[in-house]
Amino acid sequence: MTQGIRFGDFVREVSLKQNYISYNALTPPLRLDENGKEIPYQPAKLQLRSIDIYRLLGPYVGTRLVNQIKAVVPLAAYLFLFQILILRQSVLDHWVISAGLIAVILGLMIFMEGLKLGLMPFGEIIGHTLPKKSKLGVVLLIAFLLGIGVTFAEPAIGALQAVGSIVDVNKAPYLYTLLNNWTGALVLVVGMGVGLAAVLGTLRFLNGWSLKPMIFLTLIPTLGLTVYCMFDPELNKVLGLAWDCGAVTTGPVTVPLVLSLGIGIASAAGKGNSSLSGFGIVTLASLFPIIGVMGLAIYVASTVSPESIIQAAQVVVTQSSSGWLTETPYVEIVSGVQSIVPLVLFLFLVLKVLLKEKIPEPGILFYGLCLSVLGMIIFNIGLSYGLAKLGSQSGSFVPAAFAPIEKVEGSPLYVYAVGVFIAVFFAWILGFGATLAEPALNALGQTVENLTNGAFKKSMLMYAVSIGVGFGISLGVLKIIFEIPIAYLLLPGYTLGVVLTALSTEEFVNVAWDSAGVTTGPVTVPLVLAMGLGFGNAVSAIEGFGILSMASICPILSVLITGIWVQFKRRQADIHRIEILKGQEGVA
Amino acid sequence: MIQREITVLTDIALITCIVQRGVADDIIQAAREAGAQGATVYFARGMGIRERLGILGVSVEVEKEVIEIVVSKEQVERVFERMYLAGNLDTPGMGIMYITPLDKAATFIPPEVLKKFS
């Protein structure tokens, strides 16, 4: 017996219940005042049920939280596991570190949202309207000042202050004084470097300059100063710091704000349509600060003697830190407010006084600014208790694999050669993994794939950069173990970079030099800096800087080499195709 | 010379769905599982409920994605429903979707499919 079901009934059974309401019933009726004029409709505030609020905020918080968890947790897990499984050491203060890492995740999440809602709109409006209302000179001045402002707001820059206390004043007095007494000046020269890069980058936007000569021209004084410092017994200890500063600057605040200004200027001038012109600022912003820091070091060296620094440091130690300003929550709050508020005031003044523009959605903007300050404070707390602590702890334990360390019983744990290999391998995986997880690299890879019409695959770029960073961090660790002067690694590295740059096409040069800046995010920088210093202290090296700078040059080289290889492949394919065509003609 | 022909499709409808940026992929996935053949996405900016939510408005992205999917009349209810559920459109601020009747459409149709109808 067959049973008939009406198809309509079936559909109703399997699908959702639908209620029909006429939209006419929901839209407001036309209202007239006594003169017969229309009263403009003002929608009432929406009343939400708590379930709606939950469903609204759930995905909002969730996606942002997951992004930061992805950036922090794998790295931290790797460090924890390595320490427990390979070095067989329990993690000290693991509760404090875990709480610190949670603070880092929350802080970054809040800060990034605040950046998007509070700071970016400023950058966009100013970039858009400034060139229309002001002369080029004023525009460039603003770009320069903005460069300084964003450097102070960069979360990773706080890491420099945080690690400064680990440096031993007796071994490297200038390094110590730069990081402790001259921190403000240090960040300022770094900021000036970034500002100069913003100015040059803007000019590049406007005039469509090629990046190659700019790289060559910047590298000559940079390498020249490096050579000068190399031959000074005191100054050569600062080199690692100087080159590391370049990597620190190009973070999540600097890059988008400076870029949005540059793009706004270029589009207002009706130029800069080249998709590549967005690159290059990052490169310059990581090279100029190096010159600035070396210049500052030379200036400090000419005014202060190492002995007086050591004496001053001892006086400070005996006085010891006192007052509420140096205690934990307050110092972070002060530094968080200090880093954001000046930047915001500057942007606000430019907008109000110079441009006389209205601020769009002031409520949301204010909310964004509060978030960025709050996020910065929480991140700073997490930085000192989570990232810096974990990094320096791993750094100080890893040498136990090959050398006797007081804190570790039974060290060296392995035969010397095996131990060194384990340490280097540890560094390699750390660099490779941290870079591959960096969200900025993913975005860069996508851009590059589009720019090169798929010749340079996204995954290929990501692996090239990650492998480069892996080797860079390994080299940096080797540098600390064997106390190789950093200049011996940097000079050949950058010379090779120059040669490869001359050989490559413009597009790959842009990508390669920028990829170095992209890789060093706000999680990697403090972790690697602290690890290097802890490592350096454990093997009693003079200073533990330089790992980040190696992690900058190596990906440049690896991407350039990959680029040349891609070019070569492409040419081969072309030749092959021509031969096939010729062969077909022959047959015909 | 080969005579070119045009095959016109009838009994079709257009589903347009406007959601916050970043959500489109999930909705398209759901629509394809329900039988939709393809989708077009473009970026837009939208306003309305964000202003009415007050401080909660920050959780609604101003940047939107507009999904356009052409479906057959038989599919339209099913796909519409799946997209509604995948996009959580019953939550304030998540977006809006609508069906537009279409008159005709034309695109590539595989020859073996065409053969069945000739």
Interface confidence, given as ipTM, is 0.73
pLDDT in tens, A269-319: 665 455 555 677 778 888 888 888 888 888 888 887 777 777 776 665 554
pLDDT in tens, A193-221: 888 888 888 788 777 777 888 888 888 88
Candidates B52, B54, B59; nearest CB to A57: B59
Phi, psi dihedrals of residue A358, rounded to the nearest 5°: -80, 155
Write b or e for each residue in A156-184: b if 16 or more Cβ atoms lie within 10 A of its Cβ, otherwise e. bbbbbbbbbebbbbeebbbbbbbbbbbee
Minimal-distance CA residue of chain A relative to B53: A46
Report d(CA A449, CA B36) in Å as an integer. Answer: 29
Q: Is the pLDDT of residue A321 over 60?
A: no
Higher pLDDT, A432 or A87: A432
What residues of B are in the A interface, CB distance below 8 Å?
Answer: 22, 49, 51-60, 77-78, 81, 84-85, 88, 91-93
Task: State the nearest Cα–Cα gap between A365 and chain B, in angstroms.
Answer: 10
Handedness of CA A466, A468, A470, A476 (dihedral sign): negative
Query: Are the beta carbons of A78 and A524 closer than 8 angstroms?
Result: no
**Residue A528 pLDDT grade (very low, low, confident, very high; cuts 50, 70, 90):** confident
Task: State the nearest Cα–Cα gap between A211 and chain B, in angstroms.
Answer: 32
Q: Return the percentage of chain A with pLDDT > 90, whole number.
A: 0
| CATH code reported for the domain at B12-117 | 3.30.70.120
Average pLDDT score, chain A: 79
Task: Give the global pTM.
Answer: 0.76
Longest distance between any two alpha carbons in chain B, whole Å? 66
The stretch A358-370 carries a mean pLDDT of 81
What is the per-residue pLDDT for A320?
A: 45
DSSP for A209-249?
Answer: --HHHHHHHHHHHHHHHHHHHHTSTTGGGTHHHHHHHHHHH
Higher pLDDT, A308 or B76: B76
Report d(CA A561, CA A559) in Å as an integer. Answer: 5
Test B91 with A43 for CB contact under 8 angstroms.
Answer: no
Amino acid at A146: L
3-state helix, strand, coil in chain B (%, to 5): 30, 30, 40
The stretch A125-148 carries a mean pLDDT of 82
Residue B17 parent element (H or E): strand B12-20
What six digits make up the tokens of A31?
Answer: 């209202």
Residue B64 parent element (H or E): strand B63-72
pLDDT in tens, B21-41: 888 989 999 999 998 988 999
Report d(CA B66, CA B72) in Å as an integer. Answer: 20
Query: Are the beta carbons of A30 and A24 closer than 8 angstroms?
Result: no
Task: State the nearest Cα–Cα gap between B110 and chain A, in angstroms.
Answer: 28
What is the per-residue pLDDT for A319?
A: 47
Domain boundaries, chain B: 12-117
Q: Is the pLDDT of residue A22 over 80?
A: yes
DSSP for A333-367?
Answer: HHHHHHHHHHHHHHHHHIIIIIS-PPPSSHHHHHH
Contacts of B92 in chain A (CB under 8 A): 46, 48, 52, 56
The stretch B60-77 carries a mean pLDDT of 90
pLDDT in tens, A247-279: 777 777 777 777 677 667 766 666 545 555 567
- Cis amide prior to A412 (ω within 30 degrees): yes
Contacts of A368 in chain B (CB under 8 A): 58
Query: Are the beta carbons of A120 and A399 closer than 8 angstroms?
Result: no
